[in-house]
Copies of this chain bind each other. A is one copy, B any other.
Amino acid sequence: MPPSKVIFLVCDGMADRPMKEKGNKTPLEAARTPNMDSLAADGVCGIMDPIGPGIRPGSDTAHLALLGYDPYKVYTGRGPFEAAGVGLELRPGDIAFRGNWATVDAKGRVTDRRAGRIKDGTKALAKALDGIKIDGVHVILKTATEHRTVLVLHGSGISCQVSDTDPHKENLVAGCKALDNSPAAKKTCNVLNKFTEYSKKVLKDHPVNRARIKDGLPPANIVLARGAGMTPDMPPLAKLWGWRPVAIVGVALIRGICTLAGMDVPVVKGATGGVDTDMLAKARAAIKGLERHDLVFMNIKAPDIGGHDGNFDLKMSSIERIDEAVGYIKDNISSEVGLVITADHSTPVPVKNHAADPVPLLMYGDGVRTDNVKVFNEKAVAHGGLGRLRGKDLMPILQDWVDKAEKFGA
């Protein structure tokens, strides 16, 4: 019988390049991964270009592709996914940004892009700014973790073709420029610049900032915006593919993507989106998720962090901890559950950034055509029975695997 449910685990940035100083091994190759190796031996493997060969994916665009959306159609910027990830309800057409609480001096020059990495009082600051209307556009501000915010513009005739207000360097003045000649871009720029001035005016003498100045801390006296994107009209996965999906995801960006894909995105205690995340808690949540859902989508961020840090050992140990979580999953699924393990992109330790190298892919469960691959790593799976696929192929393949795909023709 084909599986009726699927657990789909994305090990963020797990794929890598072999390093001479590590015996020509990748972190995944060097890691002890008995559980993933056993799944590879009993399953079918391959490699996958998340977007396409040579296309260096973002975590956001890669996840969109893995979930069956065309990132070239739905992705205009990171803002909407971050905003949805912190729980803002967005409507298609809303323009959204990521933002920072920052510090400006009397001349309007940004002196600290993170307002001394402010942690406390940001909710009160956001409350003072949230909900204003400028030129008919509703401005929604929500504080996120630490110095981070999200900013959403809701109204008609607005565009994401605008620059960041964030100058990205200290000692420069914040400001937005239109990126095309459309009236919508100009209007959006005006609104954003007016909001920036408004944020300076309101925040200047806010009690939270007065207290910070008294304590010798840089005040959070401006909001900087970046990553403009238009909220896409994404048909929910339930409608597109008939899944009842749930996402076990810590990191806000991916939570936002899953939310906009219409998935349930519960908060899992101990899931931080960091290297300290409780992977077993996520594995337990995944197994629990099978009770009421037929697609359990998981993201574990940790390997990506080791990759960005250029820290081979941190990445390797993150992968070994993932393998333990995979062991828990493997021991707790019945034959009605298929298991897919892959990555959203490579984050090679020597590159310290995402790279386009294909990612390993493993399918385990009833009906897969077992191949000769015995261990799970980038080199071994390249000889696997799935060959070389693209990220966008995966959802249709899973759909077909669980016998839910529509036939094209007769």
Contact = CB atoms under 8 A, between A and B. Distances in A.
A56 B350 contact: no
B54 A18 contact: no
Given A47-B387, A387-B382, A26 B369 contact: yes
A354 B58 CA distance: 35
A397 interface: yes
A interface, how many residues as a size bin?
35 or more
Given A26-B369, A379-B371, A408 B51 contact: yes
A1 B355 CA distance: 13
How many identical chains are in the complex?
2
A166 interface: no
A47 B386 CA distance: 9
A62 interface: yes
A366 B20 contact: yes
B54 A395 contact: yes
Contacts of A378: 369
A406 to B, nearest CB: 7
Of the listed residues A366, A368, A369, the one surrounded by the most CB atoms of chain B closer than 10 A to its CB is A369
A281 interface: no
Interface in A355-388: 355-357, 366-372, 378-379, 382-388
Interface string A72-86: 000100100000000
A373 to B, nearest CB: 10
Contacts of A407: 56-58, 353-354
A61 interface: yes
A212 to B, nearest CB: 30
B58 A408 contact: yes
A410 B60 contact: yes
A335 B400 CA distance: 40
Contacts of A395: 54
5 contacts: A17-B368, A53-B393, A55-B400, A350-B366, A353-B407
